[in-house]
Structure formats: structure tokens, C-alpha cells
């Protein structure tokens, strides 16, 4: 099929390359000319395992191209809308200006019968609003949320665990003929994963929009739940990792996303739960998701807790002390530092007068732009040398698996390790002479 993907950020670039790999003829459109140049040269504008290979393959076969001219979207059967919806500067709602701007530009190229498939994470009600303008030119809108995780984006896009398609429905919630046609076209796009058993849910616009934010709200809640247990563990001497293992054996609960630590960050979970709460407020149902504000509060408190642990470990103050922070990305396998809990912890320590050195296998360039006041050292061992305290904030394998306590002890006389992701074995570090501090662990 002929597809266009409007917006070539994280979501759009991966989606465009993945759709080409499924055999479609794809043009990716973005107003950022530099991004378009990079993508056209087969270079991923961000760190994402497997993306460069997919770009190269698509560009070589000629099935994938990129352009900054919106008119190049003309002629596509389906136009995927994949622009960002960041948090507004002066509040917690989602900023829809990129969605609206992209839609305005797209309208001039839409032909009757075209399908526009929204992939961006939007407040519920957005699709119904956009459907009016799309219908007015004889095209059809569908909402097809994306569930990709950074670091696994290629796999999540090529073989998603579900496909959700929201279409126009009638008064009793049944898809209209136009809705059925849009759903059929999207099913054709995803025929490869669907034929191998991926569940496909056809629903109305509001449900499709809500599935996305509900999924992220649930994940954020799961993380904050275990972090709340960590807070209780801290005053009772319990160990939250053992607790998580034990409750995780219950299949109804499950162990995944029960990793206690300095909490969630990134470009999605934090802003999505805030936007959801703001939208619920507008709808007169603020009380229904009031708990999301508590989840946000728990999450932010964990960063403060990590800072406090470093202070405590260094005898009450970090002023003038050398602290090495392992990690800057909001999670491993990513160079994304948007709302990174680890970088926030590093900046707070710096604010308290610590001499902070940050290292990360992928995110240093991005981190430097956000927190230029910190010093960055690429080589892990150089960063650790002579540190008074080491703080793990991003559980990259380079730290979690490939860094032994004995090796660290050979690099520095400092004997403090603060494990912000509960990733190390406390016994190993204690045996090497370190004071080990975990999150919600004795
Ligand atoms: C998240 C969702 O997992 C995706 O399904 C969704 O599509 C995406 O947002 C989005 O809306 O686009 P992502 O932001 O890539 O994906 O990151 P996650 O893997 O969900 O991790 C989020 C944060 O939670 C990270 O900072 C991670 O360190 C933290 N986390 C995760 C924990 O603190 N504990 C855990 O047990 C798991």
C-alpha cells in the first residue's frame, strides 16, 4: 500500500521504516529539514536498536523515502499522523498544536477516500473533533494508537502485541460503512502481524484514544505502587525487591513493571498521566483519576529519596564531595533524557554542592544540552575513578551486569554505592567493603 507518515520523531521514523519493512511504499514527512536529511541518508536521529538497519533496507529497496514537502504525502492511501503531543509549558494538559498544525497541512493534499490514521497520544475527544475536518474533504479518520517502547520500538512496531483501530461509529456504537472501510484498509496495512495472530480490536474513537492513555496510566500506577511499598519498606526494614518477587508470582499481578527505584520518566508516562488527569478534569470526572496525581507525587518523591540517601551515606552533606552518576538516559537502550529521573537526581546533587560526574553509554550528548552544568565523562571507569560515592540511576548492562564491586574498589577509595534501580547484589558490594544503599531495601 502507499502510505505517508506525518511527523518523523520517535514514533513516526520507526513507524515509517517498519511499514516499509512490511512491504509498503512509504514517505515520511517532517518540517524539520535536518531530520529529513539524516533519515534520507539512512541515519537514525536518535538511538534505537535496529532502526538504522531498517532505514538502510527501506531506502535501498526504494520503498522508503523522506521529505519536508507536505505535498509528497499526496497519493497515499493512508496518512499516519505521528506528531508529538508534549505537555503544555504552563500546565499539565497536552499541547495539541503539532497535531492541529500537521492536520492543517495535510488537508491540502487529502483526496476523497483517503484515510487519515492518528497515532499520536491525544486527549479523548480529539479524534471526534478532527473527524469533522477530515470528513469535510471526503476523507475518513481512524485512530490507531501506538504502544511501542523506546529501546524495543522496531520489534514493537513490526510485531505489536495488539492493534487497536478506532473508527467512526453510529449512535449505538457500531462502525459506519465509512468506519468499516477505514478499518479494513488498516487491517491490510497490518496484515503481516495480524496473520500471525496479533489481536485486532476495532472500536470507536473515544475507546481507542482511552486505550492508549489507560495503558500508560496503568503502567505508571504499577511502578508507583511498588515505589509506595518501597517507602513503607524503608520505615519497617522490609525489602521491596523480595516483596515484588513474592507478589509477582501471582499471575494476576505479575512481576513486570514492579521494579522499585527512582521511578519513571521519559517522553510518555509522566506527561501522559498528567494530560489524562487534566482531560478528566475538563470532562467533570477529575475525581475518577485523582489517584494519578498521587502516582506522580510518589514518583517524584523517589528522586528526592535517592538524593537523601547520597547525603546520608556521605555523612549528611554532599557539598564538595565527588559523586559519580551512572546513567543519564531515562532508561537503558535509549539516549532519551526527557524527564529522566537519573539526570534529575544528578542535577539536584550538583545543586547541593556535590562535584558531579555523569557517564552514560548513549545519552551524554542529549544530557549535556539539558544539564550543561554537570560534567560528563564517556569512559565508565574514568568516571568512577576517585569518586566518594557512586549512584546507579540507569540500569544499563554496562553497569548492572558488567561492573563488579571488586573492580570499582580498584578504581576509587570511595566506598559508597547508592543503587537507584535496585540492580546490584547488596551482598557482593558489602563483601567488597562498600556501604550499599538500595531503594526500599535494608
Ligand atoms: C512507555 C510504555 O511502556 C509504552 O507501552 C508506550 O507506547 C510508550 O510509553 C508511549 O506512550 O509512547 P517508554 O516511555 O519507552 O514506553 O518506557 P517504559 O519502558 O514504559 O519505561 C518508562 C519508565 O519507567 C522508565 O524511566 C523506566 O526506568 C521506569 N520503570 C519501568 C521503572 O521505574 N520500573 C519498572 O519496573 C519499569
> Of the listed 16, 262, 268, 280, which one is catalytic?
268
Task: Give the strand order in the sheet containing 355-359.
Answer: 375-376, 355-359, 322-326, 389-392, 416-419, 435-437
Asked if 343 contacts 370 with a C-beta cutoff of 8 angstroms, the reply is yes
With cut-offs at 50, 70 and 90, classify the pLDDT of residue 107. very high
Ligand 1, residues at Cβ distance < 6 Å: 121, 146-150, 216, 219, 223, 257-259, 261, 263-266, 268-269, 272, 330-331
Q: What's the CA-to-centroid distance between 352 and ligand 1, angstroms?
A: 29
Specify the pLDDT at position 398.
Answer: 97
Specify the pLDDT at position 347.
Answer: 98
Query: CA–CA separation, 284 vs 244, rounded Å?
Result: 35
Say if pTM beats, i.e. exceeds, 0.75. yes
Percentage of the chain beyond pLDDT 70 is 100
Specify the pLDDT at position 120.
Answer: 97
Mean pLDDT of 326-350: 97
Query: Whose CA is closest to atom 37 on ligand 1?
Result: 257
Q: Could you confirm whether 200 is annotated as catalytic?
A: no
Specify the pLDDT at position 157.
Answer: 95
Query: CA–CA separation, 202 vs 245, rounded Å?
Result: 36
Asked if 275 contacts 235 with a C-beta cutoff of 8 angstroms, the reply is no
* Ligand 1 pocket, mutate which of 7, 153, 269, 332 (most atoms under 8 A from CB): 269
CA distances (Å), origin 13, targets 45, 143, 170, 329, 391: 9, 18, 34, 20, 33
Specify the pLDDT at position 382.
Answer: 98
The grid coordinates listed for 63 are 520503498
Ligand 1 atom nearest 266 alpha carbon: 14
How far is Cα of residue 171 from the mean position of the Cα atoms in its chain?
35
How does the average pLDDT of the chain come out, rounded? Answer: 97
Residue that is written with C-alpha cell 507536505 in the block: 70
The grid coordinates listed for 32 are 524539520
Specify the pLDDT at position 87.
Answer: 96
Percentage of the chain beyond pLDDT 90 is 100
With cut-offs at 50, 70 and 90, classify the pLDDT of residue 310. very high
Residue that is written with C-alpha cell 531498517 in the block: 54
Q: What's the CA-to-centroid distance between 219 and ligand 1, angstroms?
A: 7
Query: CA–CA separation, 434 vs 442, rounded Å?
Result: 14
Query: CA–CA separation, 227 vs 262, rounded Å?
Result: 8
With cut-offs at 50, 70 and 90, classify the pLDDT of residue 288. very high
Query: CA–CA separation, 358 vs 375, rounded Å?
Result: 6
| 223-235: pLDDT as tens digits | 999 999 999 999 9
Angle between helices 291-313 and 341-351 (to 10 degrees): 50
Specify the pLDDT at position 147.
Answer: 96
* Ligand 1 pocket, mutate which of 331, 339, 440 (most atoms under 8 A from CB): 331
Specify the pLDDT at position 338.
Answer: 97
Asked if 272 contacts 121 with a C-beta cutoff of 8 angstroms, the reply is yes
| 8-64: pLDDT as tens digits | 999 999 999 999 999 999 999 999 999 999 999 999 999 999 999 999 999 999 999
According to DSSP, the residues that pair with 204 across neighbouring strands are 167
Specify the pLDDT at position 223.
Answer: 98
Query: Whose CA is closest to atom 21 on ligand 1?
Result: 264
| 170-222: pLDDT as tens digits | 999 999 999 999 999 999 999 999 999 999 999 999 999 999 999 999 999 99
Specify the pLDDT at position 132.
Answer: 97
Q: Measured at the alpha carbon of residue 358, what is the angle toward residues 353 and 360, in degrees to the nearest 5?
A: 165
Amino acid at each position: 500500500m502507499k502510505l505517508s507518515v506525518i511527523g518523523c520523531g520517535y514514533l513516526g521514523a520507526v513507524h515509517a521504516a517498519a511499514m516499509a519493512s512490511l512491504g509498503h511504499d512509504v514517505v515520511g514527512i517532517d518540517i524539520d529539514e535536518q531530520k529529513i536529511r539524516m533519515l534520507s541518508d539512512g541515519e537514525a536521529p536518535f538511538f534505537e536498536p535496529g532502526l538504522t538497519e531498517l532505514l538502510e533496507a527501506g531506502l535501498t529497496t526504494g520503498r522508503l523515502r523522506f521529505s519536508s514537502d507536505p505535498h509528497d504525502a499526496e497519493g497515499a492511501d493512508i496518512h499516519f499522523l505521528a506528531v508529538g503531543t508534549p505537555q503544555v509549558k504552563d500546565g499539565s494538559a497536552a499541547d495539541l498544536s503539532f497535531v492541529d498544525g500537521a492536520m492543517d497541512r495535510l488537508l491540502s493534499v487529502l483526496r476523497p477516500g483517503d484515510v487519515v490514521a492518528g497515532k499520536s497520544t491525544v486527549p479523548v475527544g480529539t479524534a471526534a473533533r478532527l473527524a469533522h475536518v477530515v470528513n469535510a474533504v471526503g476523507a475518513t479518520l481512524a485512530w490507531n494508537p501506538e504502544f511501542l517502547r523506546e529501546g524495543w520500538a522496531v520489534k514493537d512496531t513490526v510485531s505489536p502485541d495488539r492493534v487497536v483501530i478506532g473508527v467512526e461509529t453510529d449512535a449505538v456504537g457500531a462502525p459506519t460503512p465509512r468506519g468499516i472501510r477505514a478499518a479494513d484498509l488498516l487491517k491490510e496495512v497490518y496484515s503481516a502481524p495480524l496473520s500471525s495472530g496479533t489481536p485486532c480490536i476495532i472500536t470507536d474513537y473515544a475507546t481507542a484514544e482511552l486505550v492508549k492513555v489507560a495503558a500508560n496510566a496503568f503502567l505508571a500506577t504499577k511502578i508507583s505502587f511498588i515505589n509506595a511499598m518501597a517507602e513503607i519498606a524503608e520505615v519497617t526494614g522490609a525489602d521491596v525487591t523480595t516483596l515484588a518477587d513474592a507478589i509477582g508470582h501471582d499471575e494476576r499481578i505479575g512481576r513486570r513493571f514492579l521494579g522499585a527505584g527512582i521511578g519513571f520518566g521519559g517522553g510518555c508516562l509522566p506527561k501522559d498521566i498528567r494530560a489524562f488527569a487534566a482531560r478528566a478534569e475538563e470532562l467533570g470526572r477529575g475525581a475518577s483519576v485523582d489517584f494519578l496525581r498521587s502516582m506522580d507525587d510518589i514518583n517524584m518523591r523517589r528522586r528526592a529519596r535517592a538524593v537523601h540517601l547520597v547525603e546520608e551515606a556521605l555523612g549528611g552533606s554532599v557539598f564538595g564531595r565527588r559523586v559519580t552518576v551512572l546513567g543519564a538516559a531515562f532508561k537503558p537502550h535509549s539516549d532519551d533524557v526527557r524527564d529522566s529521573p537519573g539526570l534529575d537526581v544528578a542535577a539536584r546533587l550538583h545543586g547541593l554542592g556535590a562535584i558531579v560526574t555523569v557517564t552514560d553509554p548513549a545519552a551524554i550528548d542529549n544530557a549535556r544540552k539539558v544539564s550543561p552544568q554537570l560534567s560528563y565523562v564517556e569512559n565508565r571507569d574514568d568516571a568512577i575513578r576517585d569518586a566518594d560515592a557512586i549512584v546507579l540511576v540507569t540500569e544499563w548492562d554496562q553497569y548492572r551486569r558488567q561492573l563488579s564491586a571488586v573492580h570499582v574498589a580498584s578504581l576509587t577509595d570511595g566506598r559508597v554505592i547508592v543503587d537507584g534501580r535496585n540492580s546490584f547484589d547488596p551482598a557482593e558490594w558489602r563483601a567488597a567493603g562498600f556501604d550499599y544503599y538500595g531503594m526500599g531495601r535494608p
